[in-house]
Structure 1
Amino acid sequence: MPAASDAAAAWLARADPDRGHADRWMRSVGLVLLPLGIRWCAVKTHEHEGLAAAAEIDGPVIHDPGGRTVYFLVPVSAGRTWDCPHTEMLGLACWLGTPAPDRLEPPGTYWVRPPDGSGLLVDPQALHAAIIGRASYRVWIGHTAQCATCRAGTSCVTAAKLGRAWRDARQ
């Protein structure tokens, strides 16, 4: 592994009660099961929403194409207050299949954005805004596709309100 990957691997291994265990699994299999809720938690989303949100935020993000899910590594403190539709906070008593830092593409679970070894995690507020913004956009687009007024190209009060809500969620 390159030096950056070594630093990230060491950072990840610190989450395992047995650092040697984590190191062996990352090097031999490319994946290790790590406990959550001690060094970080993970926000689980559906892959479409997750990949779109990942494009807007910084910090470590995992994609599991087989499970069609995306995981964002967030501070443990976020687990106490997280409230975001279409997501699940994974903390204590949860484990996450975590790829080696140099696993950056399929097959299998891989990093959309690997850790850099510094301890940087995803900012929960930025993640929340990205997910809520996407949900607001989906509602707005869904309305315009179904509304006869919108399809006719006429001004629709509901579409205007939904569009404002989406723009407000993005700010």
Structure 2
Amino acid sequence: MACAQQAPAQAQREWRDSGVALLPLGSRFEAARLPEQLVLAAMCTTDPQQITALLGRALNGPVIYDNRTMGGTYYALMRPRANRAWTHQAVAPRLGAGNYLVVPRLDRTEPPGTHWAALPRFEGDLCEPETVAALIAYGLNVSQGAQQ
């Protein structure tokens, strides 16, 4: 992931010094910003340990959790898809070129602060955009059904 920066050593220093690195999105990976309520609906639980286990299996790729802003946000790291439409931009925006993401060091797997909800399993491990889109659609469907 450090290679997403033009100077990967800078990312390594940031991880060493502060536990997180600010990485540009778009070339190596993108991220879908998933509101916590949407993820809770899709996972059908509010238990953080269950969510972590279920989310990693459901998305089959790395996910970051940030509770510093917006009431809790998950970021599913995805393969770039610049030339394809993202139908969930209003609910769960796809963040690509021109955006940056705070990425925790690999040993940050618990609160406090930004941490991994699902670790990457190998170099280049990313969620498939179609899988993330399916989780979003399911979460929206569950939450709409609960409102009726």
Give the TM-score, by structure 2 length.
0.82
Structure 1 residue 50: deviation in Å?
A: 3.2
From the superposition, tell whether residues 137 and 40 of structure 1 become closer, same or farther in structure 2 (CA, over 3 Å): same
Asked if 1 retains the 8 angstrom alpha-carbon contact of 2:38 and 2:143, the reply is no
Asked if 1 retains the 8 angstrom alpha-carbon contact of 2:77 and 2:126, the reply is yes
* 1:18 and 2:7 matched: yes
- Could you say which residue in structure 1 is the equivalent of 2:81? 77
* 1:95 and 2:97 matched: no
Asked if 2 retains the 8 angstrom alpha-carbon contact of 1:79 and 1:89, the reply is no
- Could you say which residue in structure 1 is the equivalent of 2:67? 65
Asked if 1 retains the 8 angstrom alpha-carbon contact of 2:29 and 2:80, the reply is yes
Structure with bigger RCO (C-alpha 8 Å, 6+ apart): 2
- Could you say which residue in structure 1 is the equivalent of 2:49? none
Write the letter of the residue equivalent to 1:130.
L
Distance in 2 (CA, whole Å) between partners of 1:142 and 1:79 is: 35
**Structure 1: which 4+ aligned runs deviate by more than 4 Å?**
none
Larger radius of gyration: 1
Higher helix share: 1
Count of residue correspondences: 132
Quote the RMSD (CA, aligned, Å): 1.7
Asked if 1 retains the 8 angstrom alpha-carbon contact of 2:38 and 2:136, the reply is yes
From the superposition, tell whether residues 50 and 17 of structure 1 become closer, same or farther in structure 2 (CA, over 3 Å): farther
Structure 1 residue 79: deviation in Å?
A: 6.6
Using the aligned pairs only, state the percent identity. 34
- Could you say which residue in structure 1 is the equivalent of 2:119? 114
Distance in 2 (CA, whole Å) between partners of 1:29 and 1:37 is: 24
Q: State the Cα deviation string for residues 64-120 of structure 1 (Å, max 9, x = none).
A: 011221111111126732112511111111000110011001111000011123212
Distance in 2 (CA, whole Å) between partners of 1:80 and 1:94 is: 18
Q: State the Cα deviation string for residues 40-81 of structure 1 (Å, max 9, x = none).
A: 111101113235463522101000011221111111126732
